[in-house]
């Protein structure tokens, strides 16, 4: 009888472990069923969005990311520049996006020779700048290898993905935080060209600011307005929206001369840091106020 006690205890332990595993599996299935396939932004233009569906990773990203739920939005602005018109409806699948711009320190992990012959060196926590479109795409490919995920899992965001994410769930508002220009706030909302009467920057940053220095938008993303312009995947076309109807996962023109950029930088005017503002540069070129962030699509 005494020899059977360890066996009974062993069987009880096995049963307990099996029950725990079953609970975990059921909970995971419930979580998957709880993740929506399609989420539309809040219809109230004045209410900030809240990302109710945080990331549920099956991988270990090297930097924090936010899940951007699938949904529809109105892309462009009829009140902005000519290349932002007309406003058109876009539907997107869900994706993950870096919460912050890729930093100088992170880019050095990919390319230790980065900026050795390009002048001044930014702080490790400042955005990686003087990075071409080709450099940024190479970083995305390296990141796939580093994290052991399929090639193409990381890339630059399309213009549509970037603008949808920048709006943070707000409907047709010019800025990630809403309708008010950034200069209207006592607390700086973004790093842009905003000086006091003495010519000093009101936020204390003459040029680059450390990533995450300002409040995030409704999707938990930082610096979607100002600090540095951000590369996008698309070719840039001034008339890319002409004749656009409802589009699903648009990726821009088939060819072009420039690659798109978004968001504005530390030297930009308030108009240039709007969510809908567009621009472009040759993919082999780089600037002191141009960086990037990645998206994960598979």
**What SS3 state is found at 161?**
helix
Distance CA 216, CA 219 (A): 8
pLDDT at 246: 84
Contact criterion met (CB below 8 Å) for 163 and 75:
yes
39 occurs within a structural domain: no
**Is 40 a domain residue?**
no
Examine residue 213 and state whether it is found in any structural domain, yes or no. Answer: yes
Structural domain includes residue 30: no
| Angstrom distance (rounded) from CA 73 to CA 282 | 28
Please count the structural domains in the chain.
1
Handedness of CA 30, 31, 37, 40 (dihedral sign): positive
Listing from the earlier edge strand, what are the strands of the sheet with 154-155? 65-68, 95-98, 295-296, 154-155
Decide if 211 contacts 223 (C-beta within 8 A). yes
Alpha helices per DSSP H over 124-274: 133-147, 159-167
What CATH number is associated with residue 194?
A: 3.90.1580.10
- Closest among 69, 10, 9 to 37, alpha carbons compared: 69
| Backbone phi, psi, residue 12, to 5° | -65, -40
**What is the structure's pLDDT at 194?**
75
pLDDT, residue 185, reads 72
The per-residue pLDDT string of the chain (298 residues; one tens digit each, 9 = 90 and over) reads: 444 444 434 434 434 434 433 433 333 333 333 333 333 333 333 334 344 444 444 556 889 999 999 999 999 999 999 999 999 999 999 999 999 999 999 999 999 988 766 666 789 999 999 999 999 999 999 999 999 999 999 999 999 999 999 999 999 999 999 998 887 676 789 999 876 667 677 777 889 999 999 999 999 999 999 999 999 999 999 999 987 778 999 999 999 999 999 999 999 999 999 999 999 999 999 999 999 999 999 8
Task: Kindly state the tokens that stand for 171.
Answer: 């409907």
Structural domain span for residue 170: 65-296
Structure tokens at 117: 């012959």
pLDDT of 205 reads 81
Does any domain span residue 241? yes
Is 26 part of a structural domain of the chain? no
Does the N-terminal peptide bond of residue 121 adopt cis geometry, omega within 30 degrees of 0? no
Following CA atoms 70, 74, 77, 83 in sequence, which dihedral angle do they give, to the nearest 10 degrees?
70
The token pair that represents 17 in the structure block = 């472990």
> What integer pLDDT is reported at residue 34 of this predicted model?
34
pLDDT at site 230: 99
In a domain, residue 31? The reply is: no
Would residue 84 count as lying in a domain? Answer: yes
């Amino acid at each position: 009888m005494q020899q059977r006690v360890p066996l009974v205890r062993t069987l009880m332990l096995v049963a307990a472990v099996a029950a725990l595993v079953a609970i975990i599996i059921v909970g995971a299935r419930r979580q998957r069923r709880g993740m929506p396939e399609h989420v539309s932004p809040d219809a109230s233009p004045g209410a900030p969005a809240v990302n109710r569906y945080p990331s549920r990773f099956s991988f270990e990203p090297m930097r924090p990311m936010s899940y951007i739920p699938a949904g529809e939005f109105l892309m462009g602005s009829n009140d902005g520049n000519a290349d932002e018109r007309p406003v058109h409806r876009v539907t997107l699948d869900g994706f993950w996006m870096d919460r912050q711009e890729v930093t100088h320190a992170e880019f050095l992990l990919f390319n230790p020779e980065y900026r050795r012959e390009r002048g001044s060196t930014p702080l490790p926590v400042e955005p990686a700048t003087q990075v071409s479109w080709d450099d940024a795409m190479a970083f995305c490919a390296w990141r796939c290898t580093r994290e052991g995920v399929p090639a193409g899992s990381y890339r630059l965001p399309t213009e549509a993905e970037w603008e949808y994410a920048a709006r943070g769930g707000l409907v047709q508002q010019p800025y990630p935080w809403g309708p008010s220009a950034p200069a209207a706030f006592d607390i700086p909302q973004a790093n842009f060209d905003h000086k006091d009467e003495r010519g000093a920057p009101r936020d204390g940053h003459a040029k680059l600011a450390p990533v995450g220095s300002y409040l995030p938008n409704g999707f938990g993303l930082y610096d979607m307005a100002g600090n540095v312009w951000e590369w996008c995947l698309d070719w840039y076309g001034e008339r890319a929206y002409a004749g656009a109807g409802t589009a699903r996962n648009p990726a821009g023109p088939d060819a072009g001369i420039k690659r798109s950029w978004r968001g504005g930088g530390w030297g930009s005017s308030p108009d240039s840091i709007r969510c809908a503002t567009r621009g472009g540069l040759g993919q082999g070129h780089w600037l002191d106020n141009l960086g990037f962030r990645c998206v994960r699509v598979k």
